[in-house]
A and B are shown apart, each in its own frame.
Chain A
Amino acid sequence: MTKDTTEIEIHLLLEALYRKYGYDFRQYSEAHIRRRLMNRLALCGLQTISEMQSRVLHDREFAAVLLQDLSITVTEMFRDAEFYRAIRQSVVPILKTYSFVKIWHAGCSTGQEAYSMAILLQEEGLYERTTMYATDFNQRALDQAREGIYANEQMKEYTANYQRSGGREAFSDYYTSNYNMAIMEASLKKNIVWAHHNLVTDSVFAEVHMIMCRNVLIYFNSDLQSKVQHLFRDSLTHGGILCLGSKESLRFSGLAEEYIELDKVQKIFKKKYPGGE
Chain B
Amino acid sequence: MIYRAIVIGASAGGLHAIKTIVSALPSGFRLPIAIVQHLSPLTDNYWISMVDKLSAIAVKEADEKEKLEAGTVYIAPANYHLLVERDETLSLSIDPKVNYARPAIDTLFESAADVFRQQLVGVVLTGSNSDGALGLRRIKECGGLAVVQEPGTAEAGYMPEAAIAATQVDYILPLEKIASLFISIHQQTL
Which of A30, A35, A221 contacts B110 (CB under 8 A)?
Answer: A35
| Residues of A close to B114: CB separation below 8 A | 6, 31, 34
A140 within 8 A of B: no
Cβ B80 vs Cβ A247 within 8 A:
yes
B12 within 8 A of A: no
| Residues of B close to A215: CB separation below 8 A | 94
Cβ A221 vs Cβ B65 within 8 A:
yes
B91 within 8 A of A: yes
Known: A31-B111, A247-B63. A218 touches B86 (CB 8 A): no
**Residue interface mask A23-36, B partner, CB < 8 A = 1:** 00000011110110
| Residues of B close to A251: CB separation below 8 A | 65
Which of B83, B96, B110, B115 contacts A29 (CB under 8 A)?
Answer: B83
| Residues of A close to B86: CB separation below 8 A | 7, 30-31
CA distance A225 to B63 in the complex (A): 15
CA distance A74 to B94 in the complex (A): 7
Q: Tell me the A217-245 residues at the B interface (CB within 8 Å).
A: 218-219, 221-222, 225
Cβ A222 vs Cβ B85 within 8 A:
no
A15 within 8 A of B: no
Closest Cβ neighbor of B85 among chain A residues: A31
B92 within 8 A of A: yes
Closest Cβ neighbor of A29 among chain B residues: B91
Give chain A nearest CB distance to B169 CB in angstroms.
Answer: 24
A207 within 8 A of B: no
Once A and B bind, how many residue pairs between them come within 8 Å at the CB atom? 54
Cβ A74 vs Cβ B96 within 8 A:
yes
Cβ B77 vs Cβ A74 within 8 A:
no
CA distance A221 to B107 in the complex (A): 18
Cβ B91 vs Cβ A72 within 8 A:
no
Which of B91, B95, B111 contacts A74 (CB under 8 A)?
Answer: B95
**Residue interface mask B60-93, A partner, CB < 8 A = 1:** 0001110000000000010010011110000111
**Residue interface mask B91-104, A partner, CB < 8 A = 1:** 11111100000000
Cβ A72 vs Cβ B65 within 8 A:
no
Cβ A35 vs Cβ B94 within 8 A:
no
Q: Across chains A and B, which 6 residue pairs bring their CB atoms closest together, nearest first?
A: A31-B83, A31-B111, A29-B91, A31-B85, A218-B92, A74-B94
Name A residues whose Cβ lies closer than 8 Å to a Cβ of B.
6-7, 29-32, 34-35, 72, 74, 215, 218-219, 221-222, 225, 247-249, 251-252
**Further 18 A-B residue pairs, CB within 8 A, beyond A218-B64, A222-B65, A247-B63:** A29-B85, A29-B93, A31-B85, A31-B86, A31-B91, A32-B83, A32-B91, A32-B93, A72-B95, A72-B96, A74-B94, A74-B96, A218-B91, A218-B92, A225-B65, A247-B77, A247-B92, A248-B64
